[in-house]
Chain A
Amino acid sequence: MKEIIRTEGLAKYFGELAAVHAVNFSLKEGLFTSIIGPNGAGKTTLINLMSGYLFPDAGRVFFRGTEITKTPAHKRVKMGISRSFQIMNIFPRLTVFQNILLPVLSHLNKNSQAFSTLGSQREAVEETEKILNEVWLWEEKDSPAAALSHGDQRLLELGIAVATNPQVCFLDEPSSGMNPIERIKVLELVKKLSAERKTTFAIVEHDMDVVFSLSDWIVVMNRGEILAEGKPDEIRDNQEVRDIYLGEEI
């Protein structure tokens, strides 16, 4: 199976703390991958490094064999790498519709058009309507994003992340702060999107039931390093993984 993203000896330090240390990570195309690990394991930092939100102190990042270690985030998006954020990051003053339209325009390279109206961007508008339906936000399309409920904002965040039609999409705790029912709903949606779109998803998630039922591949991180990776069954039986979760049922 082809690797879509690969890192070599990736490291990021915050002062004395090694948030990510010598990580050789690879993401295989088409495999729904979950990155798990205790708090502070370096999961978010790893996503930040791969999406260009942060640059590494050492090591390299490759996208389909091309080195992108120093490529800024906005150029990586154009190559096909997208992400969502753990802490809500939407465009609060824009309407829900505009929140999706903006990344769609970006994907179509239409952002700098200064004299056409938004309504005349047929292709972008149609794509936006399609995505709004996919993430169940059609009814809310004219509300300001800030007025949505927390759960709907998480859905919107997901919509923004897929609106650039990425080849690979990192979702940093897409269901954080949701109740168990919403949580299952949003993760089912992610699964559905991953089946319908040609996007490889990699998610950070804390709910182990969800992780083990959804994932094709699981990467376990601890203290900035990759502790183990494999299919859900292999991870379930891994003693080291059980130890870091303090004997929790996983």
Chain B
Amino acid sequence: MKKTLMVLILIAILILLPLFAGKYVIYMTIHILLLSLFSLGFNLLFGYTGLLSFGHAGFYAVGAYACAKILLAAPSLLVGIVGGVIFAGLVSLLLGLLCIRHTRIYFSMLTLCFGMMIFSLAWKWRDMTGGDDGLVGIPRAPLEIPGLLRISVAAMESYYYIVLVFSILAIFIFYRLVKSPLGLTLQGIRDSETRAACVGISVRNYRLISFTIAGLYAGLAGALLPPLENTVTPPVAHWSHSAEPVLATLLGGIYTFAGPIVGAFLFYIIKDIIVRFTEYWLICLGVIVLVLVLGFRGGVVSIFSGKGGTG
């Protein structure tokens, strides 16, 4: 009950945010929401299924580039975002088929490789992706359902609400998912893959499902980016971008539902505070993550929920 109340208060604050916050805070909040979605999906694979991916920026980039291409061709926000998500889902399904054949470090290396392949494509395939210039001039197209409604989201505050609605929906779906039989099955595979197989679970199929859902969430986060920034450039596919959900999840907590969301928030806050003092903010963030991993394996959320490392 207390949890529901907290969530409702949080949602209310987010809805009212544009009334009292400036542009910069709105912009930051959009980025926090995007990293939350990205990290949630990533954590389905990591915390729930036990597979550490170092390549999910690849799917983020597929979502972003696909959405950008669609918006450049046909300026309809909904088509762009949904198209980006579907495209990212398809690519992650295909690459997932190859990656989930392995686990542990081999899985991580495979995802890293595929992630960097996508980065190379973004960098080199100039005709399609604009190369190192990226895609520019992407319109913040109106939200349009022909004959039904047409909402302009040209102002950042309006676009913020689009991101917020998508985020709340996606987070709600994710919550249902991890509390469902499917969520339990993935956690079983994480705990013991041999035991899971010996109670009748097709480990590979469920890993693939998990991988694809993680790709869909990365794709959604990616697809929401181009209308905000009006550009997409190759660094969104870089492996260092894949590290962001890893860090956010470790910060917030691997074995809790809210961990990646809290982590995404902290990631941006810490970054925002530290860059005021030094450009070497990653060193400071690294130290913080190190302390958390050594001292509080369950991340920040576990400190407050009093669960320690067990989650």
Chain B interface size band reads: 20 to 34
Asked if A118 meets B184 with Cβ closer than 8 Å, knowing A106-B201, A164-B199, the reply is: yes
The answer on a CB contact under 8 Å between B182 and A91 is: no
Q: Which of A53, A113, A114 contacts B194 (CB 8 A)?
A: A53
* Chain B proximity mask over A77-107: 1 for CB below 8 Å, otherwise 0: 1100011010001111110001001110111
> Once the chains are docked, how many angstroms separate the CA of A82 from the CA of B195?
11
* Chain A proximity mask over B208-227: 1 for CB below 8 Å, otherwise 0: 01000000000000000000
Determine how close the nearest CB of chain B comes to the CB of A55; give it in whole angstroms.
Answer: 13
Asked if A85 meets B195 with Cβ closer than 8 Å, knowing A115-B180, A116-B180, the reply is: yes
Q: Does A133 contact B (CB under 8 A)?
A: no
The answer on a CB contact under 8 Å between A102 and B199 is: yes
Which residue from chain A places its CB closest to the CB of B182 in the assembled complex? A114
The answer on a CB contact under 8 Å between B195 and A90 is: yes
* Chain B proximity mask over A111-128: 1 for CB below 8 Å, otherwise 0: 111111110010010000
Q: Does A163 contact B (CB under 8 A)?
A: yes
Q: Which of A77, A114, A160 contacts B180 (CB 8 A)?
A: A114
The answer on a CB contact under 8 Å between A111 and B201 is: yes
A interface residues, tally (CB under 8 Å):
40
- What A residues does B311 contact at CB under 8 A? 93
Enumerate the 5 nearest inter-chain pairs by beta-carbon distance, A residue then B residue, closest first.
Answer: A77-B200, A103-B199, A91-B191, A106-B200, A114-B182
The answer on a CB contact under 8 Å between A117 and B180 is: yes
The answer on a CB contact under 8 Å between A91 and B310 is: no
Q: Which of B195, B209, B255, B311 has the most CB of A within 10 A?
A: B195
Q: Which of A73, A85, A113 contacts B181 (CB 8 A)?
A: A113
> Once the chains are docked, how many angstroms separate the CA of A112 from the CA of B184?
10
Determine how close the nearest CB of chain B comes to the CB of A116; give it in whole angstroms.
Answer: 6
The answer on a CB contact under 8 Å between A113 and B182 is: yes
Q: List 22 A-B contacts (CB under 8 A).
A: A53-B198, A74-B197, A74-B200, A74-B202, A77-B197, A77-B200, A78-B200, A82-B199, A89-B194, A90-B191, A91-B191, A92-B192, A94-B187, A98-B184, A101-B184, A102-B184, A106-B199, A106-B200, A112-B206, A114-B177, A116-B180, A164-B199
Q: Does B185 contact A (CB under 8 A)?
A: yes
The answer on a CB contact under 8 Å between A94 and B188 is: yes
- What A residues does B191 contact at CB under 8 A? 90-94
Which residue from chain A places its CB closest to the CB of B185 in the assembled complex? A111
The answer on a CB contact under 8 Å between B181 and A111 is: yes
Which residue from chain B places its CB closest to the CB of A104 in the assembled complex? B199
Asked if A111 meets B182 with Cβ closer than 8 Å, knowing A74-B203, A90-B192, A103-B200, the reply is: yes
Q: Which of B179, B199, B310 contacts A118 (CB 8 A)?
A: B179
- What A residues does B184 contact at CB under 8 A? 94, 98, 101-102, 105, 118
The answer on a CB contact under 8 Å between A93 and B255 is: yes
The answer on a CB contact under 8 Å between B195 and A112 is: no
- State the A residues within 8 Å of B (CB): 51, 53, 72-75, 77-78, 82-83, 85, 89-94, 98, 101-103, 105-107, 110-118, 121, 124, 144, 146, 160, 163-164
Q: Which of B190, B194, B197 has the most CB of A within 10 A?
A: B197
> Once the chains are docked, how many angstroms separate the CA of A124 from the CA of B181?
10
The answer on a CB contact under 8 Å between B195 and A93 is: no
The answer on a CB contact under 8 Å between A72 and B177 is: no
- What A residues does B255 contact at CB under 8 A? 93
Which residue from chain B places its CB closest to the CB of A145 in the assembled complex? B191
Determine how close the nearest CB of chain A comes to the CB of B159; give it in whole angstroms.
Answer: 29
- What A residues does B124 contact at CB under 8 A? none
Tell me the total A-B contact number using a CB cutoff of 8 A: 113
Determine how close the nearest CB of chain A comes to the CB of B114; give it in whole angstroms.
Answer: 25
The answer on a CB contact under 8 Å between A102 and B185 is: yes
Q: Does B176 contact A (CB under 8 A)?
A: yes
* Chain A proximity mask over B166-189: 1 for CB below 8 Å, otherwise 0: 000000000011011111110110
> Once the chains are docked, how many angstroms separate the CA of A75 from the CA of B191?
20
The answer on a CB contact under 8 Å between B181 and A105 is: yes
8 Å CB contacts to A: which residues of B49-95? none
> Once the chains are docked, how many angstroms separate the CA of A102 from the CA of B182?
10
> Once the chains are docked, how many angstroms separate the CA of A163 from the CA of B199?
8
- What A residues does B188 contact at CB under 8 A? 91, 94, 98, 102
Q: Which of A53, A74, A77 has the most CB of B within 10 A?
A: A74
The answer on a CB contact under 8 Å between A77 and B182 is: no
The answer on a CB contact under 8 Å between A73 and B185 is: no
The answer on a CB contact under 8 Å between B206 and A111 is: yes
Q: Which of B191, B196, B200 has the most CB of A within 10 A?
A: B200
> Once the chains are docked, how many angstroms separate the CA of A111 from the CA of B185?
6
- What B residues does A164 contact at CB under 8 A? 199-200
The answer on a CB contact under 8 Å between A115 and B177 is: yes
- What A residues does B181 contact at CB under 8 A? 105, 110-114, 116, 118, 121, 124
Which residue from chain A places its CB closest to the CB of B188 in the assembled complex? A102
Q: Which of B176, B187, B192, B198 contacts A114 (CB 8 A)?
A: B176
Determine how close the nearest CB of chain A comes to the CB of B117; give it in whole angstroms.
Answer: 30
- What B residues does A94 contact at CB under 8 A? 184, 187-188, 191
- What A residues does B185 contact at CB under 8 A? 102, 105-106, 111-112
The answer on a CB contact under 8 Å between A93 and B199 is: no
Asked if A77 meets B194 with Cβ closer than 8 Å, knowing A94-B184, A117-B180, the reply is: no
